[in-house]
Amino acid sequence: MRFASPGAMDEYSRFVDWDKMDMSAQSQDTKELTCTDLHELKQLARQGYWAKNHSLRAKVYHKLISNIPCRTVTPDANVYRDIVVKITGKRNSSSLPLPEFVDNSLIPTYCLNAEGIGAVRKIILCIANQFPDISFCPALPSVIALLLHYSKDEAECFEQVCRILACNDPSRRLIDQTFLAFESSCMTFGDLVNKYCQAAHKLMVAVSEDVLEVYSDWQRWLFGELPMAYIARIFDVFLVEGYKVLYRVALALLKFFHKVRAGQPMESDSIQQDIRAFVRDIAKSVSPERLLEKAFAIRLFSRKEIQLLQMANEKALQQKGITVKQKRQNVHLAVHAENFKSEIVSVKEMRDIWSWIPERFALCQPLLLFTTLEHGCSLSRFYSHSEGHEPTLLLIKTTAKEVCGAYLSTDWSERRRGGNKLSFFGTGECFVFRLQPEVERYEWVVIKHPELASTGSETENHAQTASSTLSSSSIPSDPSDRLSPFLAARHFNLPSKTASMFMAGSSECIIVGGGDGQALYLDADLNHGRTSHCNTFNNQPLCSESFQISILEVWGFRDTMNG
């Protein structure tokens, strides 16, 4: 690609109020960008190569967007010129009603002049006319407002936004256009926070009644609250690298919020409002470059892994019939005080555990499947009551009053695939924890140490070869067939299978976590157990290393929507 800036800003200044623009960050130097290599382009985008020259950025945006693969019939600038007057008439643009799919989103003005502010509404209405399938797209006003700064006229901006919306590359997700896609992205963001921002997640759980409602604001932070200089830098990288960048930046925002606000009293009675205010005023604490630096320092899993998680969340929503916007049930109160009774944990402790589980199961209520107090101390009865349920939660209280347990991602019936031989199965969503005497959760070691596995770059063949050495390679190849496809070990090139020994069971024992020790080992009588460090979870012993079981419970997940 070759771009040359004309030096003057007139060509792209029609909608810009230059008094609002930070001109100190702008360079008048004539700049060129000669680049054909995607890797090099990615580095330049991250470094902000075209961020300091308005005209150059406009040309780069135009080129990157024109390279997006689109549906055959994608509305262009001529379509806009044909329809705009018919659709908007001669009315004052500020009085034009917006389509429902923008969901009362903020319409940021950024550094637009009066003509630009009016143009945003006109373009939204013309897009609604040309894209009848869009049912929910709260990010749209922000994207239009941003691109107007870098467009010669309304028609050009309309065409660029249409290309982003009409992208038909299945591996390239750009902007959510349905409530199902949006809501599953919020759940996916919640899952990522749970894994990568545990301190911030703990704060959210402590101060908000509904954590998912807070995380459902994540796109608003980016496409609404962030100042112009920040969203433009994010968009530079987004057009090159795609949707994953948005997750990265939102995680970084949450990390900074927690760092700046930790230990301080809340400024309002709503954590949601506090985060919005922090993002709006982010310039007081973090520069755009520092925000991006933090975002790319987060060692996220591969795009493929995140896609699988998104698919699993979409599937969970579809199964619950949640495909259009509706009043969300209070997810955090899935554990109801009046109908929850455990002999091992309190309602508060169960809610804490619920805040650790993947979002798609946090929509469910706990269902007691097995307890030694009622069903006796028998491994065969443990299996008969637990099988057919996925996932399950194992809780143990020892005779020394210690409490520990495990979240187990996979149906116990999978143990039969190994015949009479004890073999491991499950996915990297499994984790182990202790609650008494103190709270500690241990997740799959690869989450905190991704250097133990290489992801994303392997070919399917390579991944298949790697999976054939793993005990969990029996997982079906179509991820949509499983409720828990995320973090399946077969997607990782692991040098040692001890890092993926999640769960195993036979008529003799149950094991959770393997490799140089076992996080939990329970005998056939469900009477005695052992715990030690293991490679899979890199955990400390969960209680006394050799213990006697006082009570053991297994909990399943009841779909509240379908009874």
Q: Is the pLDDT of residue 5 over 50?
A: no
Tens-place pLDDT, residues 358-392: 988 887 889 999 999 999 999 999 999 999 999 99
What was the pLDDT predicted at 103?
73
Name the one residue in this structure whose structure tokens are 């919306």: 165
Tell me the domains of the chain and their CATH numbers.
9-177 (no CATH), 178-325 (1.10.472.80), 347-450+499-558 (no CATH)
With a CB cutoff of 8 Å and minimum separation 6, the contacts of 124 are 98, 99, 102, 140, 141, 144
Average pLDDT over residues 30-47: 81
- Kindly indicate the confidence band of residue 561, based on its pLDDT and cuts at 50, 70 and 90: low
pLDDT above 70 covers a percentage of the chain that reads: 87
Highest mean pLDDT among 33-37, 316-320, 480-484, 494-498: 316-320
What was the pLDDT predicted at 332?
46
What was the pLDDT predicted at 326?
57
Q: Quick one: CA torsion of 217, 222, 228, 229, rounded to 10 degrees?
A: 140
528, 548 Cβ separation under 8 angstroms: yes
Q: Is the pLDDT of residue 10 over 70?
A: no
Higher-confidence residue: 465 or 222?
222
Highest mean pLDDT among 99-108, 138-147, 269-278, 310-319: 138-147
Q: Is the pLDDT of residue 85 over 80?
A: yes
514, 424 Cβ separation under 8 angstroms: yes
- Neighbour count for residue 1 (Cβ, 10 Å): 13
32, 49 Cβ separation under 8 angstroms: no
Q: What is the 3-state secondary structure (H, E, C) of 244-304?
A: HHHHHHHHHHHHHHHHHHCCCCCCCCCHHHHHHHHHHCHHHCCCHHHHHHHHHHCCCCCHH
Tens-place pLDDT, residues 430-449: 999 999 888 899 999 888 88
Q: Name which of 537, 507, 541 is nearest 524 in CA terms.
A: 507
Task: Kindly state the DSSP code that residue 224 receives in the 8-state scheme.
Answer: I
What was the pLDDT predicted at 261?
80
Q: Is the pLDDT of residue 331 over 50?
A: no
What was the pLDDT predicted at 174?
93
What was the pLDDT predicted at 494?
73
Helix (H) or strand (E) holding 461: helix 460-468
Average the pLDDT over each of 12-16, 314-318, 396-400 and give the range with the smallest value.
314-318
Separation between Cα atoms, residue 266 and residue 275, nearest integer Å: 10
What φ, ψ does residue 493 adopt, rounded to 5°? Answer: -90, 90
What was the pLDDT predicted at 555?
97
What was the pLDDT predicted at 563?
46
Question: To the nearest whole number, what is the mean pLDDT of the chain?
Answer: 85
Helix (H) or strand (E) holding 557: strand 546-558
5, 32 Cβ separation under 8 angstroms: yes
What was the pLDDT predicted at 435?
93
Tens-place pLDDT, residues 43-68: 999 999 999 899 999 999 999 999 99
